């Protein structure tokens, strides 16, 4: 009996020192079977703690981490009927027109939200500058689209339930510009990625959609900002969840088109 108590104590000692040597950092959280380790400069997740506890995934680059964590939804989106038929050229024109009208409503509404937010004194300054720059960019694109389709004034378009849901999430995110930025990113990254990955030939009626969206560079605007400000585990988790919700909303938009 004395022996078994001794065994337990020495096992504990071994475990403690192993932990100390392997991870000279602080475990700050357990979440759905994953452990997170943080030090001042790095954010890590340990997958399936403790089973694969030596497999440390660095999340230094939160910008990439967000995309990779929801990449399954991007892949699913590429497969939806609307995009597959766009790629093959069999998509009925009416469906494309409806999609475009919903998109025009989206850019109108998101531009309005960005405009409203950019009137506030957003802190820190770089986040405020980001919101202002996104506002100007969205406004320029919206004006271009309205002109392209000969709208003299802003059209009043009835949103689909999917679009209504998507826009209501944006509305909620307005309370915190950092997460509004996170919420904008799925659209920016997904459209670029879809356009690059659709094998639409140049003589296809929907080639313009590919051509106009494939050269986006969302990293120019988002990467440094998000990597700088999403600097705690709590923020990474919240951003990760927000990003995924908006990726799902993008998916649902394409899926319902
Ligand atoms: C990020 O989201 C993915 C997909 O939902 C999840 O598997 C992962 O645990 C999340 N990571 C964090 C740090 O919240």
Kindly report, residue by residue over 59-74, the tens digit of the pLDDT.
789 999 999 999 999 9
What is the model's pLDDT at position 60? 81
Does 49 share its domain with 75? no
Q: In this structure, what token pair is assigned to residue 253?
A: 């938009």
Q: Is the CB of 237 under 6 A from ligand 1?
A: yes
User: Residues 55, 79: one domain?
Assistant: no
* The pLDDT of residue 2 is above 80: no
CA torsion 191→69→221→224, rounded to 10°? -170
Domain, as residue range, for 37: 4-60
pLDDT of residue 42: 58
pLDDT tens digits, 228-254: 999 998 999 999 999 999 999 999 999
Q: Which of 60, 82, 104 is the last residue of a domain?
A: 60
Ligand 1 atom nearest 72 alpha carbon:
4
Mean pLDDT score, 188-217: 97
Cβ proximity of 59 and 230 under 8 Å:
no
* d(CA 69, ligand 1 centre) in Å: 6
* Token pair listed for 181: 């930025």
For position 215, which CATH number holds?
1.20.910.10
Cα 90 to its chain centre, rounded Å, is 30
| Rg (alpha carbons) of the chain, rounded to whole number | 23
Task: Quote the percentage of the chain above a pLDDT of 70.
Answer: 77
> Token pair of 163, please?
């679009």
Same domain assignment for residues 100 and 195:
yes
Residue whose C-alpha is closest to residue 104's, from 148, 45, 68, 41: 148
Same domain, 36 and 134: no
CA of 68 to the centre of ligand 1 (A): 10
């Amino acid at each position: 009996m004395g022996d078994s108590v001794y065994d337990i104590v020495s096992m504990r000692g071994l475990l403690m020192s192993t932990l100390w040597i392997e991870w000279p950092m602080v475990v700050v959280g357990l979440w759905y079977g994953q452990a997170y380790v943080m030090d001042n400069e790095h954010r890590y997740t340990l997958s399936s703690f403790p089973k694969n506890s030596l497999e440390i995934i660095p999340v230094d680059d939160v910008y990439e981490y967000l995309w990779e964590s929801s990449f399954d939804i991007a892949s699913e989106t590429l497969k939806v009927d609307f995009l597959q038929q766009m790629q093959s050229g069999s998509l009925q024109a009416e469906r494309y027109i409806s999609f475009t009208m919903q998109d025009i409503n989206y850019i109108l509404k998101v531009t309005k939200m960005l405009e409203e937010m950019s009137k506030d004194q957003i802190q820190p300054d770089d986040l405020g500058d980001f919101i202002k720059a996104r506002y100007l960019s969205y406004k320029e694109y919206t004006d271009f689209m309205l002109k392209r389709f000969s709208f003299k004034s802003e059209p009043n378009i009835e949103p689909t339930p999917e679009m209504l849901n998507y826009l209501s999430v944006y509305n909620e995110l307005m309370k915190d510009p950092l997460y509004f930025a996170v919420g904008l990113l799925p659209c920016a990254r997904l459209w670029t990625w879809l356009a690059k990955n659709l094998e639409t030939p140049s003589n296809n009626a929907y080639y313009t959609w590919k051509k106009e969206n494939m050269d986006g560079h969302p990293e120019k605007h988002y990467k440094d900002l998000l990597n700088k400000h999403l600097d705690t585990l709590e923020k990474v988790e919240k951003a990760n969840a927000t990003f995924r919700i908006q990726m799902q909303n993008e998916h649902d938009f394409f899926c319902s088109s």
